[in-house]
Amino acid sequence: MWNKLAHVYEERFMKLSIYDETYCFFKDQLLHANATILEVGCGPGNISAALLKINPQLRILATDYASNMVELAQKNNPQIEVQVLDAKDILILNRQFDGIVAGFIAPYLSSEDLIGFFQDVHLQLNGKGVFYFSFVAGEPSQSIFQTGSTGDQLFFNFHSLREVTTSLENLGFNILQSFVLSYEKANGDLDEHTIIISRKR
């Protein structure tokens, strides 16, 4: 499904500016101007592009499970490094980073997988590293199958703000800032998107 949607996502998200404030805050928390960044679930490279617009010195490795997304991320950001990689396998990189970005991969991780992912992020961050995490908050009991524009179905997991913040804090992160932004979907409905930026302690 993600390979089918790659160009749709490119058209929809590459020039989206509503998250720019959150990217600037993330950038300002990094300890080095030429910080190393791992992006997990990079899609067509829209977040990498936004970060590089703010600070072209960032050294980014962008990863995604879908090869078509990775190809677009490389096309849209020729200066970055890319790799096809499942979010559950980031430890195989055997590298640490100054910052890690995970934009809206949470719906495709169960509560158990999400905690495991947070643990892996903590291990992959350098001391005082910064973690950018965005998701659609909701109660886990609301999780359902959703049908995409291609007709494919995926199970959409909701995670509560309480669940996410408690897990991050228990696993060794300090919450620096949270944002809640309204996003208008293709059908005109509004979603509330939550962004949490935290620091490894």
Reported as a single tens digit per residue, the pLDDT across 70-106 is 999 999 999 999 999 999 999 999 999 999 999 989 9
Alpha carbon distances (Å) from 87 to 3, 49, 101, 134, 171 = 16, 20, 11, 14, 18
What is the predicted pLDDT for the residue at 151? Answer: 67
Give the domains, in start order, of the chain with CATH numbers.
2-200 (3.40.50.150)
Average confidence score pLDDT of the chain: 91
Say yes or no to pLDDT of 7 above 80.
Answer: no
* Residue that is written with structure tokens 């790659």 in the block: 6
For 154-194, how does the pLDDT look when each residue is reduced to its tens digit (9 = 90+)?
778 899 999 999 999 999 999 999 999 987 766 667 778 99
